[in-house]
Chain A
């Protein structure tokens, strides 16, 4: 029987180590890029974005392409460059959910929260790494998409200019939209803690809700229903990458029309509410 002594262990080489937020960010970056599913998702974002841009720019119906005014040409360029966002948002959403739900389904979350017992550091570390990676990959994919679309439209005789601010801003907005969708999905994943449930919830919010409201609005002809629909994440966030017509007609009275700024703020509000609920639950629940 060994007697208990109040000895402390001898000084080791790791005595200077500290848990730090920088370390947590580094850890989350290692975690994100060391999974194949992440690489598949990010590869798919680039592939879908560029592929759909090339397709749309190639098959757009053009009448007398040489005579299309500059503003309309810019609109065509933005539409064909950002068309892929409709699809890549689904990939960004799936990735956002998996980043956190994958840890719950495998038990990894226990290792994560043992290393970062404050939990919120790991939660926000994950969120930041996810948002930055999705934003950067989206910028790259939209950049390639717009170059491809420019080349194809030019070859078809349309005089397009990629450097116009009303072209560049929607491209930037598209990347911002995808990053925000990924964060919203991440919050859903944190709240629901299951991959299937989280993905179903975010895809339902992005895809099914707008269609359901559209059907109701069409049947009832109620303005308020379509007004509600324009505050959904996909509709409000969609303003971020839409081409702004300089002389667009004013909306009919009583109809809400969001622009890039207000639409972006509405989506940001969704994201903040989701992230705060996720943070409270992450902090409170047992794992």
Chain B
């Protein structure tokens, strides 16, 4: 469990993370979504103490990360930037990290096998591809058999097979009762992995809800309607909270009323319909809408 309260990070005049409060619960995969520069990485770095918060605090299982007697057993972290000396082999890198906690060499071999790095374990990390580097980062995060996993953009640079492996692995770890917290700037990625979503924009929490609620809550659903009698239908539909937008190709987009009701109204008025299509906004659109508002809001304030 990760508890974050009032977490703030200021770099000079810029607020990278602005009074953020949320809880990441065990047993589920929590996605941390936001455009690049939203403050995801900074928030994650503050959880493991690499960056010091300007205000607020982050607790892992009730304590600051650094106060745990075996930090690597508490949190396994893969942070966005490469964090490996390029002159060392993957095996020696993992062995050196393991040594700090007295983690046996057998566990080093285990995580190498788990992440499929056997063939390159004795090669120097400088020659690794982005995908292999990412796997090594995940291996390092798993080293201490941690209760909580914090993975910053874990599928970055992985091939499709690797992406699926990370997804399934995250779900498996969560099913074991661990806390899994993964960031991404891609909504499509989150929709296939996460149960719960925390959306960050400009350093602030825009949404903190189950993934289904985020889609439902952040979007207006619209119904696309075609009729030869546009004006008559528009008049028939008029009502509070109902908006009708007409497009050049003759289609109408109606929001505030569902498809069945539009069909009923049209039938009652004797108006023919050529199309009646409910359009659900995709996750991607929901996400764009959330973050778009945030960007516009800030532009108005600052300019």
A residues neighboring B (CB under 8 Å): 1-10, 12-15, 17-20, 23-24, 26-28, 30-31, 34-37, 102-103, 106-111, 113-118, 122, 284, 286-287
Contacts and interface: CB of A to CB of B under 8 A. Distances in A.
A241 B147 CA distance: 54
A2 B174 contact: yes
B65 interface: yes
A286 B145 contact: no
Contacts of B51: 286-287
B88 A31 contact: yes
B145 A13 contact: yes
In this complex, which of A3, A102, A114, A116 has the most chain B Cβ atoms within 10 angstroms of its Cβ? A114
Interface of B: 25-28, 45, 48-52, 65-66, 69-73, 77, 79, 81-89, 92-93, 95-103, 107, 140, 144-145, 147, 174-178, 195-196, 210-212
A20 B72 CA distance: 12
A24 B103 CA distance: 12
A102 B50 contact: no
24 contacts: A2-B174, A2-B195, A4-B26, A4-B196, A7-B177, A8-B177, A19-B71, A20-B101, A20-B102, A24-B100, A27-B97, A34-B88, A34-B89, A106-B87, A107-B81, A108-B84, A113-B50, A115-B72, A115-B101, A116-B100, A284-B52, A286-B51, A287-B50, A287-B51
Contacts of B71: 19, 114-117
A5 B27 CA distance: 6
Given A4-B25, A8-B177, A117-B65, A19 B72 contact: yes
A4 B87 contact: no
Nearest to B28: A2
A19 B176 contact: no
B302 to A, nearest CB: 25
Nearest to A35: B87
B92 A30 contact: yes
Contact of A1 (B73, B79, B212): B212
A241 B184 CA distance: 58
Contacts of A15: 73
Contacts of B52: 284, 286
Given A4-B26, A9-B177, A12-B145, A17 B84 contact: no
Nearest to B148: A9
B167 to A, nearest CB: 14
A4 B27 contact: yes
Interface of chain B: mostly helix, strand, loop or mixed = loop
A103 B100 contact: no
A14 B73 contact: yes
A116 B144 CA distance: 13
A31 to B, nearest CB: 5
Contact of A26 (B82, B99, B211): B99
A207 to B, nearest CB: 26
A114 B99 contact: no
A14 B103 contact: yes
B39 to A, nearest CB: 14
A19 B178 contact: no
B77 A114 contact: yes
A251 to B, nearest CB: 48
Contacts of A4: 25-28, 196
Contacts of B69: 18-19
Contacts of A8: 26, 147, 177
- Please give me the 6 A-B residue pairs with the lowest Cβ-Cβ distance, nearest first: A117-B66, A7-B177, A27-B99, A34-B92, A110-B83, A4-B25
A118 B66 contact: yes
A36 to B, nearest CB: 6
Contacts of A2: 27-28, 174-175, 195
Contact of B96 (A1, A14, A30): A30
Given A13-B145, A17-B101, A19-B70, A103 B85 contact: yes
A36 B125 CA distance: 13
Contact of A14 (B45, B48, B79, B107): B107
A24 B96 CA distance: 9
A102 B72 CA distance: 23
Contacts of B79: 110, 114
A25 B160 CA distance: 40
Contact of A5 (B65, B95, B177): B177
A48 to B, nearest CB: 22
B150 to A, nearest CB: 10
A114 B212 CA distance: 34
Given A27-B96, A110-B79, A286-B45, 11 more contacts: A1-B210, A5-B27, A7-B177, A8-B26, A18-B70, A27-B99, A31-B96, A34-B88, A36-B87, A110-B83, A122-B100
A54 to B, nearest CB: 32
B128 to A, nearest CB: 12
B26 A6 contact: yes
B117 to A, nearest CB: 16
Contacts of A31: 85, 88, 92, 96
A118 B100 CA distance: 12
A37 B95 CA distance: 19
A260 to B, nearest CB: 37
